[in-house]
Chains A and B, each alone.
Chain A
Amino acid sequence: MWEFISERGDLIAYNALQHANLVLQAVVVATVLAVGIAVVVDRFRFLDPIANTVSAIGLTIPSFALVGLLLPLTMIGALTAFICVVFYATLPILRNAVVGFAQVDKTLIESARGMGMSDLGVLLRVRLPLAWPVIHAGVRTSVQMSMGIAAIAAYVLGPGLGGYIFTGLSQAGGVNAVNYAVVGTVGIVLVALVADLLMLLLGRLTISKGIRA
């Protein structure tokens, strides 16, 4: 096992970074997307249950199925993996962003407007910072979820550690099958743990002390 890893150390590290990179990029896009949609939902409250229903239905659809639906459109490769991860990463953030925005005290918004803040100013300086703890929690969940989805997306040659799992599967019975599968699985768990710690750190840095739990 150790021999297996030390022989391929660089490659494994590279794939781990690729995995993290895919998730990072997808979650960043998903956050922007989700917050954007949530702003619209917050503006038109009747969309609220619809957004939640869409998000719940979306989360019910297995990622393998989405991969299958995307393939005819985006073909095998990183793009399919990316879109797939973005799709699932968006949903929990959307859900939390909608809740987070709804929780912002309306009198604070009015007082911000009364002081002469523009709509954009109110969004960036009042609503977003106040909703951020809840949104951040959604992003954190999203990162964890995306780690596993990226693994499945490796079936259609997405980047990252998931490929090792499928290599292990295809070499079943071979000497290195278990090594491959373990490196893929444990590697993803480790990347996920590190990512979660980083997310906690991000929370410490970005959530105002005035509203931290």
Chain B
Amino acid sequence: MADTLPAQPAADALGEDELAPKSSARVITREMVLMLTVPPVLVAAVFGAFVWWRQTADLDSVEAQQLRWSELRSLGWEHVQLTVVAALIVVAIAVPLGIMLTRGRFRAASPVVIGIANAGQAAPSVGLIVLLFLWLDGGFWTAIWALSLYGILPVLRNTIVGIQGIDPTLVEAGRGLGMTSAMTLVKVELPLAVPVIMSGVRTALVLIAGTASLACFIDAGGLGEILQTGITLFRFSLMVTGAVLIALIALLIEWLGRVLELATRPKGI
């Protein structure tokens, strides 16, 4: 699914060495400007059109029931909650794990962990969700675990790549100034790796937001529910509404990820 590896593919394809300079480049490229401006405009326009349609369309009782504003609002909120909570868990697990895998004796394990994570990424997200559902039963937290599991790889990989990509002379310089290993990590390595890590976080956000649209399959809510109902009842109005809202929220979350990426970039890099 697109929820599998968005944005990451290009980085993957170009090789990891391309990944670091690209995401930490100081220059704001035309593409970055486009990606910061086009999605919000697009989202606003499409959402405006949707609101206008929703207010003027002639809906039958089933549709009107499904498309109540309060219903849409609560499903949207669920969607956001699923995404944000899962993303926070991902960051809380993947960043420390990634740091650990660049330290001393754990370093040898990093290819193995990355390998496992990569293989795991080949699993279809919907399969993961369904399996966890069959194991843990449905609901919000099951969905959260599935989403978190799914979002870990990009953050983990970028944390490792980001730290390993730092010019070793800078670390040495830090040590030479009398910093402890922990101090060089906090003062030198992490700040320099932040742009790469954050680009991984954005990728994870997109993965999670997309996969969150499948949470409806296991009764965990989210905007996928409208689409699912639409398909079950075979009503185009519901299908399109669900699809459009899922897409809009994914674009919005991706955009937030980009803003976050830009905002957390240390000055001078």
Direct A–B touching, Cβ under 8 Å: yes
* Chain B: CB-nearest residue to A137: B13
Chain B: minimal CB distance from A62 (Å): 4
* Interface contact A59-B9, CB-CB below 8 Å: yes
* Interface contact B35-A53, CB-CB below 8 Å: yes
What total of A-B pairs shows CB separation below 8 Å? 208
A134 within 8 Å of B (CB atoms): yes
Q: A63-B1, A64-B246 are in contact. Are A140 and B13 (CB under 8 A)?
A: yes
* Chain B: CB-nearest residue to A171: B134
Q: Which residues of chain A have C-beta atoms less than 8 A from B127's C-beta?
A: 151, 165, 181, 184-185, 188
| Docked CA distance A204–B236 (Å) | 47
Q: A60-B251, A60-B254, A185-B131 are in contact. Are A137 and B122 (CB under 8 A)?
A: no
A52 within 8 Å of B (CB atoms): yes
Interface window among B66-74, B102-110, B177-185, B207-215: B207-215
* Interface contact A189-B42, CB-CB below 8 Å: no
A198 within 8 Å of B (CB atoms): no
A149 contact from B1, B121, B128, B217, Cβ within 8 A = B1
B2 contact from A49, A59, A192, A193, Cβ within 8 A = A59
Main SS class of interface, A:
helix
| Docked CA distance A49–B251 (Å) | 18
* Interface contact B214-A64, CB-CB below 8 Å: yes
* Interface contact B14-A57, CB-CB below 8 Å: no
Q: Which residues of chain A have C-beta atoms less than 8 A from B42's C-beta?
A: 57
| Docked CA distance A142–B6 (Å) | 10
| Docked CA distance A127–B131 (Å) | 46
* Interface contact A65-B243, CB-CB below 8 Å: yes
Q: Which residues of chain B have C-beta atoms less than 8 A from A53's C-beta?
A: 31, 34-35, 38
* Interface contact A60-B126, CB-CB below 8 Å: no
Q: Which residues of chain A have C-beta atoms less than 8 A from B206's C-beta?
A: 59-60
* Interface contact B231-A155, CB-CB below 8 Å: yes
* Interface contact A65-B12, CB-CB below 8 Å: no
Q: Which residues of chain A have C-beta atoms less than 8 A from B133's C-beta?
A: 169, 172
Q: Which residues of chain B have C-beta atoms less than 8 A from A61's C-beta?
A: 2, 210, 247, 250-251
Write the B25-39 contact mask toward A (1 if CB under 8 angstroms, else 0): 000011100110011
- Residue numbers of A with Cβ under 8 A of B are 49-50, 52-53, 55-69, 71-72, 76, 88, 91-92, 95-96, 99, 134, 137-138, 140-142, 144-145, 147-149, 151-152, 155-156, 162, 165-166, 168-169, 172, 177-178, 181-182, 184-185, 188-189, 192-193, 196
* Chain A: CB-nearest residue to B137: A172
Chain B: minimal CB distance from A169 (Å): 5
Chain B: minimal CB distance from A167 (Å): 10
* Interface contact A64-B134, CB-CB below 8 Å: no
A-B contact pairs, 10 of them (CB 8 A): A49-B34, A62-B2, A65-B250, A66-B243, A134-B13, A138-B9, A144-B4, A152-B126, A181-B134, A185-B130
Scoring B7, B38, B124 by chain A CB atoms within 10 A of each residue's CB, the highest score goes to B124
B144 within 8 Å of A (CB atoms): no
B3 within 8 Å of A (CB atoms): yes
* Interface contact B236-A72, CB-CB below 8 Å: yes
Q: Which residues of chain B have C-beta atoms less than 8 A from A91's C-beta?
A: 9
| Docked CA distance A58–B35 (Å) | 12
A62 contact from B15, B123, B213, Cβ within 8 A = B213
* Interface contact B4-A148, CB-CB below 8 Å: yes
Scoring A61, A71, A145 by chain B CB atoms within 10 A of each residue's CB, the highest score goes to A61
10 cross-chain pairs, A with B, having the tightest CB-CB distances, nearest first:
A68-B243, A185-B127, A62-B210, A151-B124, A59-B6, A92-B9, A137-B13, A141-B9, A63-B1, A65-B246
Chain A: minimal CB distance from B110 (Å): 21
Q: Which residues of chain A have C-beta atoms less than 8 A from B38's C-beta?
A: 53, 57
* Chain B: CB-nearest residue to A73: B236
